[in-house]
Amino acid sequence: MDFRISKNVIFDNLIISSGGFGMGRFLPSMCVLALVGALTGCATPPTAEQLAHLDYGAYPENYEQLIRAYFDRGLKDPSSLQISGGIPAPTQSWQKFMGSLKAGYRTCVTYNAKNSFGAYTGYTTTYFLIKDGRIVDAIENADRLQQTVGWRMCS
């Protein structure tokens, strides 16, 4: 039997409410973080040959538009979006997860926005990987993940 864990499924379950850590959300989130750490702790970096043949795609000239559209679709109140320091220009990057190697252009955006109650949730960082004019990966709470399991996605 072939089991594959999608990174997006794992990270979609990592979102921890900034309003407080209820035990119902805290424990499952910590278990997922421990699982992710265990699965990536033994990961081997890509070989020089793999890196030499990566296809990063075309530089995303419209990266700001893509990221703003992402927030417009995902936020409860898109008009409340506050981006700290602007949207940095993406740089060539790759990521390897569960044996899958992806390449594209990476940028991280630190933002704050209102929740359903009309209160700001606090600043958090989202990691974006863009390739061929679309966001191929977005990892919410990348700053918290970096602190918890030591991944250096946004530094």
pLDDT tens-digit profile of 123-146?
999 999 999 999 999 999 888 877
| 1 belongs to a structural domain | no
Residue 129 confidence (pLDDT): 95
Reply yes or no on whether the pLDDT at 107 is more than 80.
Answer: yes
Contacts of 118 (CB under 8 A, 6+ apart): 77
The pLDDT tens digits of the residues spanning 29-77 come to 555 555 555 454 445 778 889 888 999 999 999 999 999 999 999 999 9
Are 109 and 67 spatial neighbours (Cβ–Cβ below 8 Å)?
A: yes
Vertex 62 angle, CA 83 and 67, to 5°: 35
Indicate the SS3 state at residue 91.
Answer: strand
Enumerate the H helices of 1-150 as residue ranges: 7-12, 23-41, 48-52, 63-74, 142-149
| 155 belongs to a structural domain | no
What is the tally of structural domains in the chain? 1
